[in-house]
Amino acid sequence: MMLMSKKGCNILGSMRNIHTAIVKSPKFHMLFLILILLFTAAHLSIAISFLADTVAIRNSGRIIIISPLHVDGRYIKDSFGNIIILKGINKVEFADDPDGIWMGDTMWKDANVKAELDAMKIWGINAIRCHISVELWKYDIGPNTNTTEHPILRSGVNSWSDVCSISAREAIKRLLSFAAERGMYVILDGYSIRCYWTRAEQDQLPFPPYQQSPNASEIIGSVDDFVEWWRSIAVELKDYPNVIFELWNEPNRNDPPTAFNEWLNASQLCINAIREAGAAQPIIFQWQMGIWCNVYEDENGEPFARFGDHLHGWLETAIANLTDPLGNLIFSTHIYRVYSGLG
């Protein structure tokens, strides 16, 4: 049994009264609520920072989870350190048409694009490589393009509304969002200066004097023009974690011998511009195609390459001379099966 004096009882009663008064006080409730909110915000910020590198936010405000990629030695990895093998197809029609061709239709419909992507997903595809036309992106050609302002693009026609329903840039952004919803990556590679409707050719290099498309120099007149084209892409697409930038499709030119060095220099300037724009996505550098990697033997049993170029003719030079502050460079070439060769 504990004995307490009358004075002690009075003190205890006073403390109970103070406690009751505090609990009933609106100020106490407000302070308690603020403490809860601060505690929640602190823990929520940790969760948000964990996911920050793996989300893309669409215009609708819906959050899409997909992990950006990075280069780690000889591997491509996601944000969690998983090795990612990109398995995909070429989707060439952005080099032809402002909004591509989906389910056989030149007029963009979201449902058609999603249907093709869903079919690709069933096939096990996780990457789509899209050829794009320089002029279609540069002028954001669409159904409302001012043909008076850009008469070179399609002379004699007053509108592009007969071949597209949305503009080139909007189409690519929608594709990136739809692909991200399905956990798919999109490689964008420059393919031609002009497009199908302006008689494009597959340009060996994107700047003079190496272009093949008619009047191409009026679209890209110098290396600097090409660099600024890539800068504009990086500025608009830097917040899409599932995009990969490929500077040009099959750049090649053996005459003059200086062409490779010119391409090397142009590529470095493009890498710099993309990073200056704040884009951290991987960048693919490519040179030549039809590469044969010592798959034949001569009469003395020595290996040699046929019908193409040795990788060691340019790869070591490219690796030694190209730099990326983020270390996110991928080196690529295309191996073709020709005349019973290994492809």
Q: How far is CA 141 from the centre of its chain?
A: 20
Q: What is this structure's pTM? A: 0.78
What are the sequence ranges of the domains in the chain?
Answer: 1-57, 59-334
The confidence score (pLDDT) of residue 38 equals 52
Buried/exposed code over 209-227 (b: 16+ C-beta within 10 A; e: otherwise): ebbebeebeebbeebebbb
Q: How far apart are CA 238 and CA 140, in angstroms?
A: 17
CB atoms within 10 A of CB 44: 10
The architecture that CATH gives domain 59-334 is: Alpha-Beta Barrel (3.20)
Q: How far apart are CA 319 and CA 314, in angstroms?
A: 9
pLDDT (tens digit, 0 to 9) for every residue of the chain, 343 residues total?
344 444 444 433 444 444 444 445 555 455 555 555 555 444 444 343 444 444 444 444 555 579 999 999 999 999 999 999 999 999 999 999 999 999 999 999 999 999 999 999 999 999 999 999 999 999 999 998 876 666 666 666 777 888 899 999 999 999 999 999 999 999 999 999 999 988 899 999 999 999 999 999 999 999 999 999 999 999 999 999 999 999 999 998 877 778 999 999 999 999 999 999 999 999 999 998 766 655 566 678 765 555 556 666 788 899 999 999 999 999 998 877 655 444 4
Beta bridge partners of residue 289, listed in sequence order = 334
Q: How far apart are CA 112 and CA 124, in angstroms?
A: 19
Q: Among 191, 164, 187, which residue's Cα sits nearest to residue 176?
A: 187
The confidence score (pLDDT) of residue 42 equals 46
Q: SS3 for 84?
A: coil
Quick one: the chain helix, strand, coil %, rounded to 5?
Answer: 40, 15, 45
Asked if 30 contacts 38 with a C-beta cutoff of 8 angstroms, the reply is no
Q: How far apart are CA 142 and CA 99, in angstroms?
A: 8
Contacts of 271 (CB under 8 A, 6+ apart): 283, 322, 323, 324, 329
**179 to each of 43, 117, 145, 238, 242, how far by Cα in Å?**
31, 7, 27, 16, 8
The confidence score (pLDDT) of residue 160 equals 86
Q: How far apart are CA 164 and CA 168, in angstroms?
A: 9
**31 to each of 23, 28, 36, 43, 317, how far by Cα in Å?**
11, 5, 9, 19, 65
Contacts of 154 (CB under 8 A, 6+ apart): 147, 160, 197, 198
